[in-house]
Structures are given as C-alpha cells and as structure tokens.
C-alpha cells in the first residue's frame, strides 16, 4: 500500500515538472515528490514510470520556445542551457541562427538589456554580456575566457547578441581610432605651443593663454576654450591688476565670452595659480559684521554673498564660512533635475520684483524659478522677510534697513562699514 502511494506521488510530481516546460532530470522529480533519488530510479527501472531523455526534452523545449518567439537569451536562461550546447542544438536542428539575432535599435534600449544580462545570476551569460557592452573583439573575448575566437562568436550567437555585438565592436574601434588620432594631433599641437612660447616677443596674455591650454590638456575636446577668448580674458586680468580696477569674475567672463560664466573664469585663475581679480581686502569691522551674519544660523554662504554683494571666494579668504548644521531649506519642490528650492537670496529677489510691479508669472521668469516657489515666498512673507531684513541690518549696521532687499547704494559699505 505504501509503495503504491509513493509511486502515485512520484507520477504526480513528474507530471507537474513536465508541465513547467523546462528541461528536468530525475533529481528534479525526486525533489518535487519529496522522496529519494533512488526511489525515482527504482520506479523507472521497474517500468512504472516513464521520463523523456534530456536530448528529447531539449528538442521539445527549443521547438516550443522558438514557436513562442522567445529571444535566444531567454531560451538559454530559462532552459538552464550552456551557450555552446544551445548553439549545437540549434545547428543540429538546422535553425537559421542569424535570423534570430536581436536587431540593434535604440542605443539606450540595447544598453539597458545588456546591463540586465550582466546582472543575471548566470556567470557565463553575465560575462559575455559585459564583453559585448565593452565592444571587445572575438579574439579579445577568447583571450579572456581561454577559448578560441570562434567559440566566443558562437556563444554570442547563441545569446542572440551577434548584431548588437558587431555594432558595439565597430563603435569601440572607431572611438579607439579617434583617440589615437587625437593623441597624435595633440602631440603636434603641444610641440607647436612650446615653439610659440619660446618667442620673447609674445605678450603676457598670449603666453598665459597658451600655457593654460597646454596645462589643462583639453586638446581637441569640446570643453576646450578658444585661444582668442583666453587672450581676451587674460588681457582684462592684466589690465585690472596693473591699474587696480575693480572688476568681477562675472564681468570678465562675459567680456571674454565664456559659456560657463564666472565659475569657469574662477577655475582658470585657480589652475594658473593666479590671485583673484579683486585688489581690495575687507576691513576688520566689515569682517566682524559678516561673521555676525553667519552666527544668525539660517543663511548659507551664497545667501550672505548675495546680500552683501561680496563673492564667496573673497568671503572664504577672510575665513567667513557657514556649515550645513542647523540650516533648513525654506521650501523645496520636485526631485532630480526638476527640483527647485526657495533660498533667502531668491526670496529677496522675489520680494523686490513684486514691489517693482512684476506679476507672479513675470517674477518667476525674472528670478529663474517656478510660480509655486513665488507663491510660497509671498504666502510666507511674514516669516521670511523679517529674517532677511535682520541679516541686511547686521551686514550694513549704519544703514536703516526697512525692506527685505537693498533699497540703498551699498557701494560705500561693501568692503568696510562707513556712516552715510
């Protein structure tokens, strides 16, 4: 009786395993039935149980999946087939393997698919997908895995990535060729620049412009700055330093035609170890006033820079720094690239624009923000405006501040504290 029940249990387990449409072994039936492998083998030997051979199962599995239109990588992963084995079966069954290759469509879609395969638990599939993503040649793949390049190519075909791989390989080869050509041209340019620098008649601005491009090693990069722009920038710098003219990085960057504005101008000076444009230093009483502003605890360094009209570099030189601890953002909206936030400097600009007669929509455009941020600033003006007024009063202690923005000429009090 017990033997009959066990046999029934094994037969039912075999049917359930077969219904999954996957290649199975005797041990899979034993696991499903919850019995020993020897019990399944005994049932097979006695003729009480019939299981298809692995080869027969593979042929049926492939026929079913191909008819279903499943991609080759899915057939390999779901069937638990090695890529060499899958290729051999497809070849034996006279299947047109090249017709089953995935086409190269949108590069982002292809990249997402390959990255997903790289993260698969199957080590062989993950490794090959990574090679395809890198655009390695079949010879390079063979060298990595210790097999022939033909074997590597067959595995890629079995994975259905042959067309994608060939395209990635072409792109990688093109990138390497362009890199080599660029390196060669950059080398010639470097020699040319060194030759020009040897000319004693070269002006300081031109010499410094050449030295910057040589030092930055941008070469033919799209980020490289035109020589004429650099010469114009360094000429402005030289004139400002000699004559003691007060000009800002924003002005110099605009005059030179820098696309990235003041930050780019600042990076150029830093790379060339040149001091900042501004020839003046803050007076001690102004430094104390600015440090008191920091102690208020709610302003960022950029807020203080905006309200005082002094750039962050000058503030940093005078040890005027803030920390993130204790400060809270007034308001944030959205996430990622669409994220906008309300700062005290932005609130000050919003209040000034509204008082000048701009509508909410115009104010949002002028202040480079959203109408939601403008509305929040206006709805919470009672809480925000007094804090801005308080900060301005600390920065300009001898001026009576009545608005949450500058309504006075602060030039006399920019670097020192002077009574009007």
- In-domain check, residue 177: no
- In-domain check, residue 219: yes
- 75 in Cβ contact with 158 (< 8 Å): no
318 plus 401 within the same structural domain: yes
Domain span at 243 = 199-271
Domain count, the chain: 4
Predicted structure pTM score: 0.39
288 plus 400 within the same structural domain: yes
266 plus 310 within the same structural domain: no
**Three-state secondary structure call for residue 342:** strand
Which pair of tokens denotes residue 69?
A: 């239109």
- In-domain check, residue 95: yes
**CA distances in angstroms from 269 to 3, 148, 238, 277, listed in the order given:** 89, 54, 12, 9
Q: Residue 420 has what pLDDT? A: 43
- In-domain check, residue 238: yes
222 plus 314 within the same structural domain: no
Q: Residue 419 has what pLDDT? A: 44
Give the residue from 419, 384, 416, 420 showing the smallest Cα distance to 310: 416
Task: Tell me whether strands 340-342 and 331-333 are parallel, antiparallel or unpaired.
Answer: antiparallel
Q: Residue 313 has what pLDDT? A: 74
Q: What is the mean pLDDT of each run of 10 residues along the chain (420 residues)?
A: 73 78 74 81 76 73 78 75 80 81 72 74 79 81 83 84 81 74 65 70 84 65 75 88 73 86 84 70 78 86 85 77 63 68 89 89 87 90 90 87 81 53
- In-domain check, residue 61: no
Q: Residue 193 has what pLDDT? A: 66
131 plus 156 within the same structural domain: yes
- In-domain check, residue 203: yes
215 plus 131 within the same structural domain: no
- 321 in Cβ contact with 300 (< 8 Å): no
Which pair of tokens denotes residue 24?
A: 């199975």
288 plus 252 within the same structural domain: no
Q: Residue 318 has what pLDDT? A: 74
Which pair of tokens denotes residue 48?
A: 């009480």
Q: Residue 415 has what pLDDT? A: 54
17 plus 84 within the same structural domain: no
């Amino acid at each position: 009786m017990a033997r009959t029940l066990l046999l029934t249990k094994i037969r039912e387990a075999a049917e359930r395993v077969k219904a999954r449409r996957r290649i199975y072994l005797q041990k899979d039936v034993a696991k499903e039935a919850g019995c020993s492998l020897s019990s399944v083998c005994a049932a097979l030997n006695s003729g009480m149980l019939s299981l298809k051979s692995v080869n027969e199962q593979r042929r049926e599995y492939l026929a079913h999946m191909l008819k279903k239109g499943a991609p080759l990588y899915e057939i390999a992963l779901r069937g638990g087939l090695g890529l060499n084995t899958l290729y051999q079966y497809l070849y034996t069954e006279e299947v047109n393997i090249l017709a089953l290759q995935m086409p190269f469509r949108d590069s982002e879609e292809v990249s997402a698919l390959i990255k997903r395969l790289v993260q698969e638990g199957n080590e062989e599939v993950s490794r090959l997908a990574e090679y395809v993503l890198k655009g390695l040649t079949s010879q390079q793949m063979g060298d990595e895995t210790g097999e022939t390049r033909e074997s590597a190519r067959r595995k890629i075909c079995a994975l259905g990535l042959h067309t994608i791989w060939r395209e990635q390989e072409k792109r990688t080869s093109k990138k390497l060729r362009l890199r080599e050509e660029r390196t060669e041209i950059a080398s010639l340019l470097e020699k040319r620049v060194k030759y020009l620098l040897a000319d004693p008649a070269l002006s300081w601005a031109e010499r410094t412009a050449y030295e910057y491009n040589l030092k930055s090693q941008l070469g033919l990069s799209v980020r490289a700055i035109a020589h004429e722009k650099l010469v114009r920038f360094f000429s402005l710098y030289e004139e400002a330093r000699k004559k003691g003219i007060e000009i800002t990085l924003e002005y110099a960057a605009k005059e030179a035609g820098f696309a990235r504005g003041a930050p780019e101008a600042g990076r150029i000076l830093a790379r060339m170890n040149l001091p900042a444009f501004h020839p003046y230093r803050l007076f001690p009483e102004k430094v104390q006033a600015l440090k008191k502003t920091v102690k208020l605890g709610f302003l960022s360094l950029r807020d203080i820079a905006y309200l005082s009209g002094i750039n962050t570099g000058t503030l940093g030189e005078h040890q005027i720094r803030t920390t993130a601890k204790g400060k809270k953002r007034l308001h944030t909206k959205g996430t990622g690239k669409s994220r906008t936030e309300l700062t005290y400097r932005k609130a000050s600009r919003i209040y000034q624009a509204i008082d000048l007669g701009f509508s909410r929509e115009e104010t949002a455009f002028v202040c480079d923000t959203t109408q939601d941020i403008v509305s929040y600033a206006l709805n919470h003006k009672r809480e925000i405006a007094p804090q801005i007024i308080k900060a301005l009063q600390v920065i300009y202690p001898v001026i009576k501040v009545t608005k949450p923005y500058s309504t006075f000429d602060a030039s006399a009090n920019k670097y020192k504290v002077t009574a009007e």
